[in-house]
C-alpha cells in the first residue's frame, strides 16, 4: 500500500511538473480574462460553438475511439517513402509578387500587396507536446524557422499543438511584427516573451485593420481549443483577409456548419479559400469535416480557387495519409471547384488562376 501510494504521488508530481513547462503556455488571466468573460461566445466558464458540437458523435464512445487508435490495424497512415517537396528561398521572392507557399498540414506563408504573412507555423518536426509522438512524415520538413523572412502578420487560428508550436514561435519571435489570433491565445504568446502590444486578439464577427489597406474579419469555426486536459479557455476561429487586391479565407480547423455559407454570402466571391481536408473520422465529424462536407463548404464559400490543407505532414486520424488528397481531387473533377494541390514548398502564384499542379502524392506507398 505504501509503495502504491508513493507511485501515485510521484505520478502526480511529474504531471504537475510537465504541465508547467513553458510549451504548455498559460491560461488567460487579468484584463485578458475579463474580456473573455464579456464575450457572448463564452458561457459557463468556456467558449461554446454556435451549434451543438460534441467531441465525438452520439453513436460511438471514447472507449471505441481509443481502441481504434491503439489496437486496431491501420493501413497506410504514414507514407513509407519520402514526401516530395521543393526548397524555395523565401527571401528571394519578389516582395511585389502575390504568392503562397504551403509547408504541409496547416502552415503556410503568403505575400500580399507587399506584405509578408505567416499562418499557424509548425517547424518542430512533431505535432504534440513531446518530440517522440505525432512526428512529421519523412521529407515534409523542408522549411525551418530560420528560413523565414520578416513577418508583417502572424495568424494563429487556435492553440492546438499542430497549429501553435512553442519552439517555432519562439524562434521566429524577432521577425514577427504583429500577431492576429483568437481571444485568450495571446496569453500563451505573452508567456513565451511576445510583447502584448503587438498581439491582437479577436472574438468572432469582428474586424480590424492592422495595416493600411488590409482588413481582417474574424469568422466563427466549429472546433475546440486547449493544450492540456482543460478545453475551450481560448477561442478558435477562421479569418477573411482582405488586402488591397485580394480576399482570402483562412480556414483553420472546423467541422461543417452554417458559417461557410454565411461567409460566402457576405464576402464572396473570394479569390482563394484555404480549408481543412484531413484528419477526419465519422466519430469526430462535428469538429473536422468529412470529405463530402469539404466539397459542400468549398462550394458555399464562393471562392475562385481552393487549397486543401490539414494533411500531408502528420497522421492525426485513422485514414490513409493520401486519402484526403485523392478524394478532394476526385470531387474537383466532379464539381469543377478549381481545387489546387501544390506540393510542400512549391510557389503558388495568386495572380494566375490557370496555374497547374501535379498529383505529387501518387505513386507513394
* pLDDT value, residue 293: 95
Backbone angles phi, psi at 337, to 5 degrees: -95, 0
pLDDT at 66: 77
Structure confidence at residue 125 as a pLDDT band (50, 70, 90): very high
SS3 309: strand
Indicate the DSSP class of residue 343.
Answer: P
Q: String of b and e for 46-61 (b: at least 16 CB within 10 Å)?
A: bbebeeeeeebeeeee
What is the pLDDT averaged over residues 21-34?
Answer: 95
Structure confidence by residue, pLDDT tens digits, 216-241:
999 999 999 999 889 999 999 999 99
Mean pLDDT (the chain, rounded) = 94
Is 113's pLDDT higher than 90?
A: yes
* Residue 331 pLDDT: 81
Residue 139 confidence (pLDDT) above 80:
yes
DSSP letter string, 32-69:
HHHHHHT-TTEETTEE--SS---SS-TTS-HHHHHHHH
Mean pLDDT of 347-362: 95
Q: DSSP 3-state assignment of 297?
A: helix
Closest of 248, 201, 200, 256 to residue 223, by C-alpha: 256
Confidence category of residue 18, pLDDT binned at 50, 70, 90: confident
- pLDDT top residue among 71 and 107: 107
Asked if the model's pLDDT at residue 361 lies above 80, the reply is: yes
* DSSP characters over 125-187: SBSSSSTTSSBPPTT-----GGG---BSEEEE---STTT--HHHHHHHGGGBS-EEEETTTHH
Give the model's pLDDT for residue 14: 66
Nine-digit cell at 125?
A: 518536426
Average pLDDT (165-183) is: 98
Cβ atoms of 101 and 109 within 8 Å: the answer is yes
Look at residue 295 and tell me whether its pLDDT is greater than 80.
yes
Q: How confident is the model at residue 17 (pLDDT cuts 50, 70, 90)?
A: low
- Lowest-pLDDT range of 203-217, 243-257, 333-347: 333-347
Phi, psi of 287 (to 5 degrees): -115, -10
* Residue 7: predicted pLDDT: 66
Above 90 in pLDDT, residue 10?
A: no
Question: What is the rounded distance in angstroms from the CA atom of residue 144 to the CA atom of residue 172?
Answer: 10
Residue 6 has pLDDT above 90, yes or no: no
DSSP bridge partners of 108: 102, 119
Spatial strand order in the sheet of 99-102: 199-202, 179-182, 153-156, 115-119, 108-112, 99-102, 347-349
Q: What is the pLDDT of residue 4?
A: 63
**Residue 296 to residues 82, 264, 299, 322, Cα–Cα distance (Å):** 32, 12, 5, 20
Each residue's pLDDT tens digit, 275-294: 999 999 999 999 999 999 99
- Collapsing DSSP to helix, strand or coil, 347 comes out as strand
Domains of the chain: 24-349 (3.60.15.10)
Q: Which three cell numbers stand for residue 138?
A: 519523412
pLDDT of residue 236: 98
User: pLDDT band for position 333 (50/70/90)?
Assistant: confident
Distance in angstroms (rounded) separating the CA atoms of residues 183 and 200: 9
DSSP for residue 318: S
Closest C-alpha to 100, from 357, 364, 362: 357
Q: 67 falls in which pLDDT band (50, 70, 90)?
A: confident
Q: What would the grid cell of residue 173 be?
A: 519571435
* pLDDT bucket at 61, cuts 50 / 70 / 90: confident
Q: Does residue 243 contact residue 216 with C-beta atoms inside 8 Å?
A: no
Least confident range from 32-41, 214-223, 298-307, 328-337: namely 328-337
Rg (alpha carbons) of the chain, rounded to whole number: 20
Q: Where are the beta strands (DSSP E) in the chain?
A: 42-43, 46-47, 99-102, 108-112, 115-119, 153-156, 179-182, 199-202, 207-208, 215-219, 238-242, 247-250, 272-276, 306-309, 347-349
Amino acid at each position: 500500500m505504501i509503495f502504491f501510494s508513493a507511485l501515485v504521488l510521484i505520478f502526480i508530481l511529474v504531471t504537475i511538473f510537465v504541465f508547467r513547462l513553458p510549451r504548455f503556455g498559460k491560461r488567460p488571466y487579468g484584463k485578458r480574462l475579463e474580456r473573455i468573460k464579456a464575450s457572448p461566445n463564452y458561457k459557463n466558464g468556456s467558449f461554446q460553438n454556435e451549434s451543438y458540437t460534441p467531441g465525438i458523435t452520439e453513436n460511438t464512445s471514447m472507449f471505441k475511439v481509443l481502441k481504434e487508435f491503439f489496437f486496431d490495424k491501420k493501413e497506410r497512415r504514414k507514407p513509407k517513402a519520402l514526401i516530395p517537396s521543393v526548397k524555395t528561398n523565401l527571401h528571394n521572392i519578389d516582395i511585389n509578387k502575390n504568392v503562397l507557399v504551403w509547408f504541409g498540414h496547416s502552415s503556410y506563408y503568403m505575400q500580399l500587396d507587399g506584405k509578408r504573412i505567416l499562418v499557424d507555423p509548425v517547424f518542430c518536426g512533431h505535432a504534440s507536446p513531446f518530440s517522440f509522438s505525432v512526428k512529421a512524415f519523412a521529407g515534409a520538413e523542408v522549411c525551418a524557422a530560420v528560413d523565414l523572412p520578416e513577418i508583417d502578420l502572424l495568424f494563429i487560428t487556435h492553440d492546438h499543438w499542430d497549429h501553435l508550436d512553442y519552439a517555432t514561435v519562439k524562434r521566429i519571435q524577432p521577425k514577427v511584427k504583429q500577431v492576429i489570433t483568437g481571444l485568450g491565445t495571446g496569453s500563451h504568446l505573452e508567456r513565451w516573451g511576445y510583447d502584448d502590444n503587438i498581439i491582437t486578439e479577436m472574438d468572432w464577427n469582428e474586424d480590424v485593420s492592422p495595416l493600411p489597406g488590409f482588413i481582417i474579419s474574424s469568422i466563427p469555426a466549429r472546433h475546440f481549443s486547449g493544450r492540456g486536459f482543460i478545453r475551450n479557455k481560448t477561442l478558435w476561429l477562421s479569418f477573411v483577409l482582405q488586402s488591397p487586391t485580394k480576399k482570402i479565407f483562412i480556414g483553420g480547423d472546423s467541422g461543417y456548419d452554417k458559417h461557410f455559407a454565411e461567409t460566402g454570402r457576405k464576402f464572396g466571391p473570394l479569390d482563394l479559400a484555404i480549408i481543412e481536408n484531413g484528419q477526419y473520422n465519422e466519430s469526430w465529424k462535428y469538429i473536422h469535416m468529412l470529405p463530402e462536407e469539404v466539397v459542400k463548404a468549398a462550394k458555399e464559400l464562393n471562392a475562385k480557387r481552393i487549397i486543401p490543407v490539414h494533411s500531408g505532414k502528420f497522421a492525426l486520424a485513422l485514414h490513409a495519409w493520401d486519402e484526403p488528397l485523392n478524394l478532394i481531387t476526385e470531387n474537383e473533377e466532379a464539381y469543377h471547384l478549381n481545387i489546387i494541390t501544390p506540393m510542400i514548398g512549391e510557389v503558388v502564384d495568386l495572380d494566375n488562376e490557370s496555374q497547374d499542379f501535379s498529383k505529387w502524392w501518387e505513386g507513394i506507398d
